[in-house]
Amino acid sequence: MPLPGRLSRAAQKTERIVVGLISGTSVDAIEAVACGISGTGADAALDLLSHVSVPFPAAFARRVIAIGDVRDVCALNFELGHRFGRAALKAIDVAGLRPEDVDLIGSHGQTVAHLPGSTLQIGEASVIAELTGAPVVCDFRTRDVAAGGEGAPLVPYADWVLFRKPGETRALQNIGGIANVSVVSDRLEDTIAFDTGPGNMLLDAVTRLATRDKKAYDDGAKLALQGEIMPALLRELLTHPFLKKRPPRSAGRDQFGEALSTKLWQRFKRRPNDLLATLTAFTIEATVRAYERFVLPKRELEAVYLSGGGSRNPFIVEGLERRLAPIPVRPLDALGFPEGAKEAACFALLASEWLSGTEQNVTSATGAKARVILGKVVP
């Protein structure tokens, strides 16, 4: 079937203007980028034109986190679509572009469930397309799941395209709501990638409880740094079944979300700062142990490059530097790319590759039985 007119013209262009949209598992903001993308596969190149971060109001974030029934999903799907559409228009404007200049939008949406054999992201693509006038590629994870994969992580493809260095092996460590790593080298098929475990999700949930929703996250680790790590609790947390799994593996709210944070809060609410210190240490130790088991025996790393909200947490950064020494631990910005824009840019690239007909999943990361083209389009 031939592509509709606008998509057909975009497919023939040397450089496409593509907007990327994502809201992470922490449910704190929409990240939106406008990019110029040319080429495909190993020859793809991405020029970041703009990046905007549009925070969610606290009350709205709580509604997403506390989704109860299908009516909530239905309403929030359209509300999120409007928020994503407005974020896209803001990124377009900041880039000095007009909506009609945009060839394509890639929207990851907001994950509300990620389970074995199924995954669900909402943020209605039809609303985004209606608001912007641009075709939207969405639902990137579902085709990988249909092909027997976990549907995550999907960033390894972009990490390899954008950040590999000839003759070197480097780790791209994202610490969002969930933490994940991509280990990239010359060949895509040699990529190692998986979710390392908890990121900021537990920390954010406990911070909201400790501050009665006055703070959405532990800014600068100010609360955690006032606490003391509880060794017995840390040992208990490190027995979590997810951490014993071998890759391919992916995690979500079911493993490290509100259910676990609520149980921990009920036990340690008289020691909120100690609980935050221990959960921060949990993120550090789970990450390092994942490297020790699954990465370092196989690869010698040039450096580890950090992105995501955890890369701005001095407690986490110092802990990773200390535990991973002598491997250098650096911010992603050291590679000349702003870390806050990274994941949205990934989905701009995945959307462009959909239009090129290039498979974007990395089977070694997701466990899918085949390389497949990810995404569905709303013209």
Domain residue extents for the chain: 5-152+341-378, 155-335
Domain 155-335, architecture per CATH: 2-Layer Sandwich (3.30)
Superfamily of domain 5-152+341-378: ATPase, nucleotide binding domain (3.30.420.40)
Pairing of strands 104-115, 136-138: parallel
Measured in whole angstroms, how far is the alpha carbon of residue 333 from the centre of its chain? 17
Check whether the bond before 248 is cis (ω within 30° of 0): yes
| Interval 21-57: pLDDT, tens | 999 887 899 999 999 999 999 999 999 999 999 999 9
Structure token pair of residue 357: 């007909």
Q: How far apart (Å, rounded) are the C-alpha atoms in residues 355 and 44? A: 13
Asked if domains 5-152+341-378 and 155-335 share a fold, the reply is yes
The pLDDT value given to residue 24:
84
Is the pTM above the cut of 0.75? yes
The pLDDT value given to residue 26:
79
Count of CB atoms situated within 10 Å of the CB of 246: 8
Q: How far apart (Å, rounded) are the C-alpha atoms in residues 111 and 124? A: 12
The pLDDT value given to residue 3:
85
Pairing of strands 329-331, 304-307: parallel
The pLDDT value given to residue 1:
57
Q: How far apart (Å, rounded) are the C-alpha atoms in residues 209 and 215? A: 9
Interhelix angle 155-163/342-356, nearest 10 degrees: 90
The CA distances from residue 222 to 215, 217, 356, in Å, are: 12, 10, 46
The list of the chain residues with pLDDT below 70 reads 1
Q: How buried is 72 (Cβ within 10 angstroms: 0-12 exposed, 13-18 middle, 19+ buried)?
A: middle
The pLDDT value given to residue 4:
84
